Amino acid sequence: MEAARASAGSPLPHGGHVVARRTPAVPTDAPVALITGASSGIGAAVAARFAEGGAWRVVLNGRDRTRLDQVATATGGIAVPGDLGDRDGCRRLVESAVELGGRVDLLVAAAGIGWAGPFTDMPAAAIDEVLAVDLAAVVHLVRLVLPQMLRRDAGHLVLVGSIAGAVGVRQEAVYSAAKAALTTFADSLRYELLGSRVRISTVLPGVVQTPFFARRGALYQRSRPRPVTPGRVADAVWDAVAHDRSEAFVPGWLRFPARLNGAAPSLFRQLAARFG
């Protein structure tokens, strides 16, 4: 599949906004970033951020072929559409990325889906889908790309979690559980990577201005915390890779409720029940 190169003014879906980019030619020996969830929202913003300056070749995955092609055109990336809801989809994606780019130097696992409502109302199929996309797919993708990173003794894994995984969110029990598991998976794997030059980072955003809420079936209606832009999360991903940061909260103040929940869970739950 040929990479589609952007021209001035190419549209990029960017959390509901259109962003114009001019993408320079990328050297064929530039490192390769595999970005999931790249057809919109955080993934599309990460693709745009890493395409800037022509320092990275970006391989983009998403389920919406039309939007993914638009992002690929705007970023000079390579679109590899597909569903990550099963192991075969993950395998096909990594095989395609290696075939097209020669290797994967960076995995940004930004794909995610949600479901909002009482847990007792959540259909079994929705439980399976959230766990498959938000947790199992990430684990399988890491399993597939990590061995070649270890052989080269170089690479970076960025897992996009959520503040919901750090504190729990009412009526998002399964989504919160999946994101919490991602953080623990990263912590555990980090110990296994000691002594190597392969790095792993977690980026935990709060509310982000993306189509996520409409797709989960319930719009975000709280006045606080205010949503941040996908670009702000993309900047955190870039910073984590550039400066080898193991963890980043977006916005940064979310670190405090996460730490409070870890240090004094009973107090946090009382506060959350009162003000949440």
Cβ proximity of 76 and 59 under 8 Å? no
- The greatest distance separating any two alpha carbons of the chain, rounded to the nearest whole angstrom, comes to 55
Number of neighbours of residue 235 by Cβ within 10 angstroms: 16
Nearest alpha carbon to residue 113 among 16, 17, 210: 210
The b-or-e profile of 15-30 (16+ CB within 10 A means b, else e) is beeebebebeebeeee
Q: Please indicate whether residue 220 is annotated as part of the active site.
A: no
244 CB burial (10 A radius; 0-12, 13-18, 19+): exposed
Q: Using alpha carbons only, how large is the chain's radius of gyration in Å?
A: 18
Question: From the candidates 175, 212, 249, 268, which is the catalytic residue?
Answer: 175
User: What residues are annotated to the active site?
Assistant: 175
